Amino acid sequence: GQQVMQIPQYQHVQEGEDFTTYCNSSTTLSNIQWYKQRPGGHPVFLIQLVKSGEVKKQKRLTFQFGEAKKNSSLHITATQTTDVGTYFCADQTGANNLFFGTGTRLTVIP
């Protein structure tokens, strides 16, 4: 079955440092969506990537979709304490199923 793994599982950074989480799939990804879930909260949609090699930016966040559509990454520049949470990638395998990765939990030390 489909497996979407994210690394690292946990990441502790000092405030101001950069952070990257990687999303890797055993099969070709369809559309990748990224979500952020704050502690005790619910997933919040960040962005969707559709095209091979696509790169999108949102302020300090940079999202990339691999050329072979088997991986994706999220990079945060100069982390802030508000970036704390778990970041999930999710593959939209069809019109009716979003398959979530294992998540990367980010802790930012002030």
Partner 1 sequence: GAGVSQSPRYKVAKRGQDVALRCDPISGHVSLFWYQQALGQGPEFLTYFQNEAQLDKSGLPSDRFFAERPEGSVSTLKIQRTQQEDSAVYLCASSLDPGYYGYTFGSGTRLTVV
Q: Interface mask (CB under 8 A) for partner 1, residues 32-51, using x and -?
A: -x-x-----xxxxxxxx---
Q: What is the largest CA-CA distance in the chain?
A: 41
* Under rule CB under 8 A, residue 82 binds partner 1: no
Angle at 42 between CA 39 and CA 43, to 5 degrees: 105
* Under rule CB under 8 A, residue 103 binds partner 1: yes
Query: How far is it, in rounded angstroms, from Cα 73 to Cα 21?
Result: 6
Query: How far is it, in rounded angstroms, from Cα 12 to Cα 91?
Result: 26
* Under rule CB under 8 A, residue 1 binds partner 1: no
Stretch that binds partner 1, among 13-21, 51-59, 74-82, 99-107 (CB under 8 A): 99-107
Binding site for partner 1 (CB under 8 A): 31, 33, 35, 41-48, 88, 90, 92, 95-103
